[in-house]
Amino acid sequence: MKINVDGSICAGSREGAISCIVRDFSGCLVDGFTETVRAASVAQLEALALLEALKYIKKKQVGVVSVGSRLSKVW
């Protein structure tokens, strides 16, 4: 499985959103989710996105997995 996480936070705000897309190794969509979060920084937002991906992996008992992230701040 490959899990990609992404997120954004508005400048001057603590409200942001994260998303997670789960694909199998052939690239087919398996699952996904979004979540509204509060974060004080882009680094915290990235940590929250990765944490949610790890929770997903544990809940679904996913075996071999690759996690990717390209988070950026919205200006």
Residue 14, token pair as written in the block: 């603590």
Of 32 and 11, the structure prediction assigns the larger pLDDT to 32
In which band, very low, low, confident or very high, does the pLDDT at 72 lie, cut at 50, 70 and 90? low
Per-residue confidence (pLDDT) for residue 74, from 0 to 100:
45
Q: Give the residue among 72, 20, 18 at the shortest CA–CA distance from 42.
A: 72
Q: What is the pLDDT of residues 33-47, one digit of tens each?
A: 999 999 988 888 888
Please say whether the beta carbons of 68 and 34 come within 8 A.
no
Percent pLDDT > 90 in the chain is 36
Residues 36 and 51: their CA atoms lie apart, in Å, by: 14
Report yes or no: 68 and 2 within 8 Å, Cβ to Cβ. Answer: yes
CA–CA dist 3, 60 (Å, integer):
12
Match 């940590």 to its residue by tokens. 47
